[in-house]
Amino acid sequence: MTTFAPILLFILVFALLLLGYPVALTLAGGALAFALACAAFGLFDLEIFGFLPARIFGTMSNQTLIAVPLFVFMGVVLEKARIAEQLLDALSELLARLPGGLGLGVIFMGGLMAASTGIVGATVVTLGLMALPNLLRQGYDPKLATGAISATGTLGQIIPPSIALVLLGDVLSNAYSQAQLAQGVFAPKTVSISDLFAGALLPGVVLVGLYALYMWLTALRHPSRAPRPSSEVTGGQPRSNWKLLRALAAPLGLVLAVLGSILAGLATPTEAAGVGAVGAMLLALANRALHREVLGEVCRSTLKTAAMVFFILIGASVFSLVFRGLGGDDLVHELFAAFPGGQLAAVAVVMLAIFLLGFVLDFIEITFVVIPVVGPALLALGVDPVWLGVLIAVNLQTSFLTPPFGFALFYLRGVTPPEIPTSALYRGVIPFVGLQLLLLLLLFAFPNLATWLPELLYS
């Protein structure tokens, strides 16, 4: 019974999540109830809960996690102040002469929004509202249009500064320390969020390039699926290159300032997030788009998202404490160590499990429930933490896009005209899922794709 107790706890919490109960309350309440039941049979020592206040205090006083509400604030300001819409118009006009120019503009816009908002749901809905009507009006194939928007909307999972990477980096940092301490290393190495940002940058750029290449080749081979714009669609007289560059300069400068300061080591992610939040407000003020109503919406949206994240963090602390108290970390380590095929086989099994869980759980739930369970065991096998983090981020992005349960498809369905069937969304996204799986295979075959830049910058 002792051996199976951690497995039963995981199954209980997973079942409660599938029933739709709130994540934070499920993690904390399910773990507490299970611990009390085990304590009645002598399988759990209740004195372990004495560590809980220190764990919660450590979570709430974590300086790194302050970046979460600041990055959310930055992204919501750019969305509410219509800066993202202006950027999309400028990109589309700049690329209009290329085959699939409007589609390419949407893809590059998705990459830029990923580097500013980092929130998949917000990016998919924003692109769906802004870009989908233009794509359909220009005569794009609905499958290609919805597939491109769904795929580029999920780039916020992998392109820094991503909320997913911030949370994943914090969890992996703790898991890496646990793995080294369990091996008797009392001066452990650390892995930072900056390392993960640097590791994810090149794969993110490669993925945007793969999307753009697919759109360009599709427009070349099948012009009817991605026709060139007419004067009625583009609004007649094009703007000068100088006006286009000026429309692009401010938001691009903000993204480069935030990401560049992190990668150059000039600022921590939290400091850079503060710069991004202030910069987004200045851009909104310059556009005369920041007034009391907009600021109120931004603050409410930021407060809701930040409260949700930290509430789930506290629940996850309770869950991981009970799981470790039941010997779950030792059990997982033994299972992975016994896998035939060693390190790569263990990573492949975990990637498959995360991919499947991504159909039914949000990335925050997977980050705080699954990664603390499997992370220390994988890292104890010698898996590079940056490579593992990038693999997980790309994997979650793929699962959120895969029919029939991909969250990005549900987000887009809510803003898609009713005459476009759901089957068109599913069929349109399949080529982009294939490109993401190709990136996963490239990461397995060439781990340096994720580890080269962090080693170059921080070695």
Check if the beta carbon of residue 289 is closer than 8 Å to that of residue 81: yes
Q: What pLDDT does 133 receive?
A: 85
Condensed to tens digits (0 to 9), the pLDDT of residues 256-299 reads 888 888 888 788 888 888 888 888 888 888 878 778 888 888 88
> 207-216, 298-307, 352-361, 438-447: which has the minimum mean pLDDT?
352-361
Q: How confident is the model at residue 239 (pLDDT cuts 50, 70, 90)?
A: low
Please give the share of the chain, as a percent, with pLDDT higher than 70.
90
pLDDT tens for residues 326-383?
887 777 777 766 767 678 888 888 888 888 877 767 777 788 878 888 888 888 888 8
The secondary structure of 349-405 as a DSSP string is HHHHHHHHHTTTS-HHHHHHHTHHHHHHHHHHTT--HHHHHHHHHHHHHHHTTSTTT
Structure tokens at 18: 């599938």
Are the C-beta atoms of 75 and 117 separated by less than 8 Å? yes
- What are the residue ranges spanned by the domains of the chain? 63-228+239-314+363-458
pLDDT band at 185 (very low <50, low <70, confident <90, very high): low
160 and 386 Cβ atoms separated by less than 8 Å: no
Average pLDDT of the chain to the nearest whole number: 82
The model's pLDDT over 9-18, given as tens digits with 9 standing for 90+, comes to: 888 888 887 7
Convert the pLDDT of each residue in 76-108 to its tens digit.
787 777 776 777 777 777 777 788 888 888 888
SS3 240: coil
The size of the chain, in residues, is: 459
- Please tell me the predicted confidence (pLDDT) of residue 438: 94
**Cα–Cα dist 279/295, whole Å:** 14
- Cβ neighbourhood burial of 228 (10 Å; 0-12, 13-18, 19+): middle
Q: How many helices (H) and strands (E) does the chain have?
A: 23, 0
Structure tokens at 264: 């150059």
